[in-house]
Amino acid sequence: MLPTDAQRAFQETARRFAEEEIAPRAAGWETGEGVPEAFLRQMGALGFFGMLIPEAFGGVGLDFVTYALATEEIAAADCGLCNLVNVSNSPVAAALRDHGTDAQRTRWLGALASGETRGCFLLTEAAAGSDAAAIVCTATRKGGRYVLNGTKQFVTAGQSAQLALVIARAPGTRGKEGISAFLVPTDARGYRVVRLEDKLGHRNCDTAQIALEDLEVSDDHRLGSEGAGYKIALAYLNGGRIGVAAQSVGVARAALDAALAYARERETFGKPILEHQAVAFKLAEMATQTSAARALTLQAAALEDAGRPALAEASMAKQFASRAAEFVASEAIQIFGGYGYLRDYPVEKYYRDARVLRIYEGTNEIQQMVIARQLSRGWSPR
């Protein structure tokens, strides 16, 4: 599919901002104190935290194809920062948009759209990663309130966000039953950052372990009906997988661009290494995988916009694009040679940022299971 002029226009806005404002600062943020709060507010003012929020609530109200294109541009400049932007848009803002009461939308969507409030998603636990129904974090009824207890792992923006979408279950329930979703301000008593993870990549996005310790919220903090939490959580994993695919395309494209520029300038045996077939063929395969990943991603995004089932397509896009990102980044290092292994050059960062893309929002092994299940149910690529 070919994006429309309107979709390309927002993509170009994202590209200019990413190239001019994010890319020159990303490496410095990694070795310094991270992305400044003022910069995140600036991104909010430009609409990047409100991409999936309706205009009526101060957002941009983008379709999913445009969202994927903008995600690609931000990820090409810094994938960690892009992940922070994505998680606030979806699942947090998107779930609130679709399942929130009028009062909840009025209270939080405007602040999320502006970036004044940013979201994080508390689903994963030590023994509940790919198997979301295995969570043990509890939400115990206490009069007109709920008391939340448990520990969540690998929470993107768990420290820096102001609003947490928490998935917890009623005591004594098992499997998919009894799971509810809650909107929890991160300054609530009982919300505690246990530790910040020291990661290989995505260093411009905090990842935290969060403890919920007798954290009380009123009924009006529950998102959706009681027991609907599992369905809510899984509904936005599909869109999240398309988002990760778009991130992957951005990383792959950035690595390809860097490798191509270097291959044009670096000379061996009296000519640019681009003119050596061994290097040229590497670049050809890198370009092919990047383009194929983008095509799968935009196809899945278009199906999402059309309201059509896209389970297989989203999983295909996520697992193919994430593998492509790692492959292209690795080949970029190879083309740079020893220089590619140094922090002085950008491709080592692309490789570090690419590796986790095969893991979060459902491992690639889970994506293969989803695709196989859809095939068994009659899906085919027609």
Q: Which among 30, 331, 348, 361 is annotated as catalytic? A: 361
Whose CA is closest to 210, among 240, 188, 228, 241? 188
Buried b (16+ CB within 10 A) or exposed e, 103-142: ebbebbbbbbbbbebbbbbbbbbeebbeebeebebbbbee
| Tokens encoding 157 | 């923006």
| Tokens encoding 6 | 């309107």
Strands 207-218 and 191-196 come out as: antiparallel
SS3 state at 213: strand
| Tokens encoding 341 | 């292994």
Whose CA is closest to 156, among 245, 244, 62, 223? 244
Q: How many CB atoms lie within 10 A of CB 202?
A: 26
| Tokens encoding 93 | 């803002």
**Rounded CA separation 134/129 (Å):** 8
Q: How many CB atoms lie within 10 A of CB 341?
A: 13
What is the CB-side half-sphere exposure of residue 92 using CA atoms within 13 A?
Answer: 36
**Rounded CA separation 351/382 (Å):** 34
Q: Which residue has the tokens 């609130």?
A: 96
| Tokens encoding 211 | 């403890």
Radius of gyration for the chain, computed over Cα atoms and rounded to the nearest angstrom: 21
| Tokens encoding 138 | 């509890």
Query: With contact defined as beta carbons under 8 Å apart, do 118 and 163 qualify?
Result: yes
Could you confirm whether 361 is annotated as catalytic?
yes
Bond prior to 309 in cis (omega within 30° of 0)? no
CA–centroid distance for 116 within its chain: 19
**Rounded CA separation 251/71 (Å):** 10
Residues labelled catalytic: 361
